[in-house]
Amino acid sequence: MDLQIVASFLLLVFPSFVTPGPNNFMLMASSAKFGIRPTIPHAIGVNTGFPLMVFIIGLGLGEVFAAFPQVQIVLKYFAAGYFLWLAYKMLGLKVGDVKTVARPMRYFEAVLFQWVNPKAWVISVSFVSAFVGQGEWRLPSLVLIALGCMATGPFASVIWMVFGQQLQSFLRRTGGERFLGAILAVLMIGAVVLFLI
């Protein structure tokens, strides 16, 4: 990989990771609900699960979806249904209400969640298409892209987790915690609409 390709990757990876999406919304919601420390396993799952997904797609899974696009369509609508269910659950979310959501997402749940996350699919396929070399450079470039994702992803996660914690503090101070679930549900529904159109 030359410096121009590395610079292009870095210019693409930061906006891809920081912009709103299911992972970021869920990290924000978990931090708002449980705090940052209990959300750390969730964040680690995101930031190891996504690079693993990039690596596996780069090894050839992407070609399977290119050959059978109907599988990707089914996955897309399955993910949309899952996110709408999450939005429904978030409507009942209240800060400090342990009955509504029993626990934050576990590490392996966050790793597996990447495979139904449409933003993760779009980004991973884009990264593999744009930055993975051919021939003898395929595996080394794929490893570097996966490691680059693993190194940069935590910055985005921390931003959204801190935002969730600040949202929790603000809502508690202002007495607006009853609106947290509705706010997060609207954001999640917005994310669903954006990836379906």
Q: Is the pLDDT of residue 98 over 50?
A: no
Split at pLDDT 50, 70, 90, the class of 138 is confident
Residue 14 lies in a domain: no
Split at pLDDT 50, 70, 90, the class of 101 is very low
Looking at the structure of the chain, the number of domains it has is 1
Residue 19 lies in a domain: no
Residue 101 lies in a domain: yes
Dihedral of alpha carbons 114, 120, 126, 127, sign:
negative
Range of the domain at 33: 3-9+25-196
Mean pLDDT value of segment 69-74:
71
Residue 97 lies in a domain: yes
In this prediction, residue 171 carries a pLDDT of 77
Residue 107 lies in a domain: yes
Residue 146 lies in a domain: yes
Residue 15 lies in a domain: no
Q: Is the pLDDT of residue 155 over 60?
A: yes
Reported pTM: 0.77
Mean pLDDT value of segment 129-140:
80
Residue 16 lies in a domain: no
Percent of the chain beyond pLDDT 70? 77
Tokens of 138: 């395929």
